Chains A and B, each alone.
Chain A
């Protein structure tokens, strides 16, 4: 357990209703983030990581329902009315989106964006104070005061993302969720933004949930990492430990298939992520898992806590005395048809 988690998510489920059935986008997820901690959330597209981020903030579209607990202090955000939730967003909970341009109003100066945000959440703040706080936060993001009254289009992509981060930070939220904050940026600018995010804990003491599909980003900027597959967290722990010695076969395969400067041979995970309307039985990764055993499709693996507070859900790590009589013989499967490939 972390000393005092800023947010603690327990058994969170987020389901979407669609014409073809119920999509279980987030299915029984538990995690905690402490003050000044950066938790990376990784997984392939469609694994539910963005939905999890939004579910924590209560920002779900119509047709979605959530269940479980998102404990923020002593309050459960799940099931709270929009009106109540709104009080938490901003001063307590912040969100940074992927596309900075679409989130800034093109007709408003940067100055107005900050004034609006601050006035909304802290009515009674004097103009001078608004200016001081805005400039201070922008300055920490490397935006000079000379550009305070410019419009969004006058800034480059990287600067807009810095402005978005400043706009979230000016309210000093305790928890910040960044959903793929660098995806549309160039590699050098991406690295600049990552170093800003990695410094948040020092400069602001903010708890940060960094959602990304890029394992490199997690390795560089996060303290802990949670690996998500088909709506569930399959492994979570210290980022160095998890990347150095992955416990879950999915984490291992995902790391192996990432192309980096050290790649000498291409590797990929056979098959494609499952649809979340009718996910595979038992462990959801079993149809693609090179280590799958007879037990895997039959029963869902319990969560084990390994050394260093690492959590993993995989039968490989469940000792016999806890697992009981399970069949650990390799799972025989027919060859995957090429058509199943992504």
Chain B
């Protein structure tokens, strides 16, 4: 990695090859016979630094692992593998007791202000709770500290709020109270998990402005977790884009927004609805949705949705099934039924594989299957899946489809940023004689 390593003092949190997996519970039968049900790789080999005083944005859609990553580095979720060092101290494997000592230095602001304050506690009790837990202050001195914190976050005069209950406050006011609670112990790191996404547009700017002011005043470091690239652009010094538990692109905000490299970053930026009347709904969007993290795609996780995926990006049997289903959606019923009869049962395609067979069914020969596949290809020759097909062998009773071996992308440095995409990896490109990459 040729990215200049920041001086060690600059790094507040150093995350190295972090993996956080959640075990799946599995079926009753599986549990009965002690079979593993597999796991979800919520965070899958993430390496990044959070530098002192910066705002690092962790951007991704739901299921990208951004929240799990935030929680793992606070010790709220145990890491499966890898290391998280906070001010030089290893956090993974720490006991709850040891963690509690560190939590004075790192706090979290949650997404839903309505759910993060206990409705039965007054603002004084809620905001002052950390003081009590950590034995810092109680009674009169607690009240004084709470009042100070409330005024700091703009809930002034504090007497108007300190004895109220959360239900008396508006959404924006509640989020201010949550921020007051997070800063009352004077932490160095604040993890803000979608702090404004539940708020009205007109209130978001106020809360972000407050967070910026607090940063200037107290020198906080923020980890800003969001799905919203627009607020991240404004708010963050650096950005890491996450997809299915992996960083696909990371670098200074300016570089990422001016010249996004990863096809996923490009798609995210294009999809943001902008209040600009000259724009209209983009049509060239990635298809589908974030796949199931329990069964991630082969190769690059983004390949099934990527418009520029090429030969070695990880094509597999499930992609053919998706292709067929997309084709059949909107086809007249008779036409779809005819094609389905030729191909027979598709459930076998659900087992991810780069080499699979389509067996003939009653009255259909293997050449029928091959002809149909050929026709589907001719109908949409630009479909990226076909780039992954190495060979289709027609024999008696079956058609065998051979796909290219997947090449798992690596996070590589590229001018100002790091990108995990085969398009920019000479080794991946060298796997194919003449890679077909649209627009290149």
Known A-B contacts A157-B289, A219-B279, A268-B206; A188 and B61 likewise in contact (beta carbons under 8 Å): yes
Shortest distance from the beta carbon of A243 to any chain B beta carbon, whole Å = 4
- B contact residues around A142 at 8 Å (CB): 326, 329-330
Q: Across the two chains, which residue of chain B brings its CB closest to A217?
A: B273
Contact indicator B275/A338 (Cβ below 8 Å): no
Identify the interface centre among A189, A243, A244, A337: most chain B CB within 10 Å of its CB.
Answer: A189
Q: Across the two chains, which residue of chain A brings its CB closest to B270?
A: A191
Known A-B contacts A146-B325, A215-B201, A341-B154; A259 and B208 likewise in contact (beta carbons under 8 Å): yes
B274 within 8 A of A: yes
* C-alpha spacing A218/B289, complex, angstroms: 23
A1 within 8 A of B: no
B283 within 8 A of A: yes
Contact indicator A338/B271 (Cβ below 8 Å): no
Stretch from A54-62, A89-97, A132-140, A301-309 forming part of the interface with B? A132-140
A2 within 8 A of B: no
A122 within 8 A of B: no
Tally A residues with Cβ within 8 Å of B: 65
B269 within 8 A of A: yes
* C-alpha spacing A94/B326, complex, angstroms: 27
- Count A-B pairs with CB separation below 8 Å: 182
Interface residues of B toward A: which range? Answer: 35 or more
- B contact residues around A192 at 8 Å (CB): 285
- A contact residues around B281 at 8 Å (CB): 191, 194-195, 198, 220-221
Contact indicator B272/A214 (Cβ below 8 Å): no
Contact indicator B172/A144 (Cβ below 8 Å): no
Known A-B contacts A195-B285, A244-B277, A339-B155; A214 and B326 likewise in contact (beta carbons under 8 Å): no
Contact indicator B271/A187 (Cβ below 8 Å): yes
B23 within 8 A of A: no
Stretch from B43-51, B224-232, B427-435 forming part of the interface with A? B224-232
B28 within 8 A of A: no
Contact indicator A146/B340 (Cβ below 8 Å): yes
Contact of B234 (CB < 8 Å), options: A145, A146, A266: A266
Contact indicator A240/B329 (Cβ below 8 Å): no
Contact indicator B61/A187 (Cβ below 8 Å): yes
Contact of A139 (CB < 8 Å), options: B282, B285, B324, B331: B331
* C-alpha spacing A138/B330, complex, angstroms: 7
* C-alpha spacing A254/B201, complex, angstroms: 8
- B contact residues around A131 at 8 Å (CB): 333
Q: List 12 A-B contacts (CB under 8 A).
A: A44-B202, A141-B329, A145-B336, A146-B340, A157-B289, A187-B227, A198-B280, A214-B273, A220-B279, A261-B230, A266-B205, A341-B154
